[in-house]
Each structure stands twice: as C-alpha cells, then as structure tokens.
Amino acid sequence: MRTDFDAELEERLLRYTAIDTQSDEASDSQPSTAIQLNLSRLLEQELTAIGAKDVRLTDYGAVLATIPATAPDAPTIGFLAHVDTAPQFNATGVKPRVHRAWDGSAITYPDAPDLVLSPETSAYLGTKTGDDIVTASGATLLGADDKAGVAIVMTAARHLLANPAIPHGKIRIAFTPDEEVGRGVDPRLPKDLDADFAYTLDGGKLGEIEYESFSADGATVTIKGVSIHPGWAKGKLVNALHLAAKIVQTLPQATMTPETTEGREGFLHVYEMSGGAAEARIKLILRDFELDSLAAKGALLQQVCAAVQAGEPRAQIACEIRPQYRNMRYWLEKDMTPVDLARAACREIGVDPVSVPIRGGTDGSRLTEMGVPCPNVFTGMQEIHGPLEWISVQDMAAATKVCLRLMELAAP
Ligand SMILES: [Zn+2]
C-alpha cells in the first residue's frame, strides 16, 4: 500500500543512487573523491529551492542547512546522512529498479543472471510482501547506504518547510562525505552543526534506534628484518615475512576474530599484510563494546609481538595502536533524551523500537564523542555494500515519520 511520502522518497532515492559518489580510502584529498561533490552540490541547490536557510557547502565537503524553528524553547536537533557509497563494490553506473508492490517471489538481476535475492536468503525481505522494493541491476551496489538517509532527511525537510504550522525547534541538516572511509566527521563539523543533539539516518531494519557502537582501535605492526643476498645469507638473513607470518599465526584464530564472534563479543582482525623479506607490515583493527576489553586485545597483540621479537632479537618489531572511535553509549547513557525521543516517536507511528549494539561505528560515534550526542535511526537499507543491496520504500516512509514525530515531541 502506498502511504504518505512514498512517491517523493522513491523519486529522490532513484535520482540520488544514480549519481556515483563512491569514496576512496587511498585518497588523501578532502573529500576523498571529487565525484561526491556532484551530489553535494545538487543537495545544496535542492535545499535552497525548498526554502532552507543558511545553505552552504563547506570546504570539507559537507552540505549544511537550517530549517528555522516554529516553536520557541525547543532544542536544536541535527539530522545527518552521508552522500558517499562504499568502496568495496562497483558503484559506477547504478541502475536502480523498483519492484512495485513486490509479490514475494525471488528477485533476479538483468546484469547478473546468477544473482538471486529471495526470502530464503533474506528473512527480513520475507516480511516485506506488498512493499515497493528497490534494488540495483546486479552490476553495482545500490547505494541506499546512505542515499536512503539523504532522501529521508530531504523529504522531512521539504515537508516541514511546506507546513510551518508544525511545531518544532531549529533543525540543522548535514550531508557529509567519506563516512565509508571513516572520515565523515571533520573536526569543524560539531561546531558548524551547532545542534543540542543529532541523529544519523544510517541504520537498517524498521524500528532500529541504535545508541551503542563498537569502541575501535587500529594497529600497525612493522617488522624490520635483516636483508642479505640470499646466496650468502646463512646465519645472517632475518626474513621479515616469516616473522610477520609467525605473529599472525600466534594471534587467536578459533576465537576473537570477526568470523567467530557476534553480539557483544569483540575481535582482533588482521586485514592487510604487505612487504618483503626486508620489511613487512601487518594492519589490524581491534573492536570491543567495552574499553577494558578493547585494551586487553591491544595488550594481547603487544604480547604476541614481544614474544616473536624475543625469539629473534636481530629483528625490529614495532606495534603501534591508535584510537579510531568510541562506543557512543558512554556519553548517551548520561542523558538518554535523544534515544528516548526517537523510541517514543517510533511507538507513536506504530513501530516497536529495537536497540541492538552496532558491530561497527557511525559518524554519530565520532560526533557523540566530540560533544553532539547522536544516535542512529533506521532507514530500511539491507545487504549493503554489495550487489544484493535493497530497501523498502515503505520502511523509508516510516523513518521519515519518526523524524517528523520526534521533532514535534521535542517541542514543548
Ligand atoms: Zn552508511
């Protein structure tokens, strides 16, 4: 059944996903890819056209805008979505397809004959019969992550500006680049956003209101061996690759890895090895919901490096661990107002709110740490970062209503 906002959300999603905005971890520029600005500039124009105020594209690539308050004394609330799509899968030439009033049968793809999306492999999809389902064509990801969020924020903004009788405080909007490469929150963003609290529209299933993310560290282990011509190397050569392999082999494998953990369990993940006999490098990420357990994983990595070092004193093994982001719960549990508002708004539109810990981070994790409490709200996006990515337009409509309802609830 088509509900309020469906047509606008679908139209925006189709238009935004067709624009390639893939970010690039290897790039040092800001934003990481200039193509992201194609969407950012479009959003800047569209925000101006619907009557938003203070519209600007910052030099760090974020589009900011204000919807002026219609109710005094209400808090200033921020809404964020990211314009970039994930670098993990082809994002060039997205051809979104609408499966109108989807009948529950398996979805196939014109550009990938072997690919099938069905309720057998995606139980959540099985609950969406009758919805308008949007997929890509098989050759690319869809990019509902996070253009669904962009479409939801734009639709809510257009609705509020067209209906000034709706009471709400000042609304601040931010469309950020480079979330997928972990650089979505520029140090200037919290001050520029200037909101009492905010929400990222970057979550999954209907009703999910998330306020817990991983705490995350990154680690680089550098191994310097002793390089000698292999023909004259006896007793002299120290092969950095053997030592790197030994470190990886000594780390836990049957436990404490992404593939052996779930729920609230953390992990150590080796994601890259590079180098040669003279010098090698191992890159890891460390994740846990609790800071002491995160520190314990760092200590374990240090111990393994120290043990391998002790076995080969002629090598130089250095292990550098740096913080990436922190569980937003540490801040939000001190004042649950933003979470409670979103949950109450969910209930009012007839959806049961669920809060599951995110096994990852969001722009909200960084923003919360930097002083703007920022839970994550569902959009409906599913099977993200790959060719099976899909979304229900009706889930997006529910998210739009949650945003509108919580603004009203926050206005005294
Ligand atoms: Zn996202």
Domains detected in the chain: 6-212+327-410 (3.40.630.10), 215-325 (3.30.70.360)
pLDDT tens-digit readout, 110-148:
999 999 999 999 999 999 999 999 999 999 999 999 999
Q: For the segment 342-400, what is each residue's pLDDT rounded down to a tens digit?
A: 999 999 999 999 999 999 988 999 999 999 999 999 999 999 999 999 999 999 999 99
Judge whether 179 counts as a catalytic residue: yes
Distance from the alpha carbon of residue 85 to the mean position of ligand 1, in angstroms: 8
How far is 269 from 248, CA to CA, in rounded Å?
10
| CA 384/CA 147 separation, integer angstroms | 12
Paired sense of beta strands 215-224 and 279-288, if any: antiparallel
Name the nearest CA neighbour of 170 among 300, 34, 53: 53
Neighbours of ion ligand 1 (CB under 5 A): 145-146, 202
pLDDT tens digits along 306-338: 999 999 999 999 999 999 999 999 999 999 999
Active site residue 369: no
Integer Cα distance of 87 and 365 in angstroms: 21
235-294 residue pLDDT tens: 999 999 999 999 999 999 999 999 999 999 999 999 999 999 999 999 999 999 999 999
Instruction: Name residues whose C-beta falls within 8 Å of residue 255's C-beta, 6 or more positions apart in sequence.
Output: 261
C-alpha of residue 51 to centroid of ligand 1, in Å: 27
Q: Which residues are annotated as a binding site?
A: 82, 145, 180, 202, 385
**Structure token digits, residue 3:** 């509900």
DSSP bridge partners of 57: 63
CA of 82 to the centre of ligand 1 (A): 7
Question: Which residues neighbour 312 within 8 Å (Cβ) at sequence distance 6 or greater?
Answer: 238, 243
The rounded distance, in Å, linking the Cα atoms of 125 and 202 is 18
Q: Ligand 1 centre and the CA of 283: distance in Å?
A: 23
Task: Choose the catalytic residue: 10, 20, 84, 210.
Answer: 84
Phi-psi map region of 245: left, alpha, beta (phi>0 left; psi -120 to 50 alpha): alpha
Evaluate whether 117 touches 106 at the Cβ level (below 8 Å): yes
- Amino acid in position 68: P
Q: Give which of 393, 401, 404, 406 is closest to 349, Cα–Cα.
A: 401
Its pTM stands at: 0.90
Q: Shortest CA distance to 8 belongs to which of 345, 398, 397, 401? A: 397
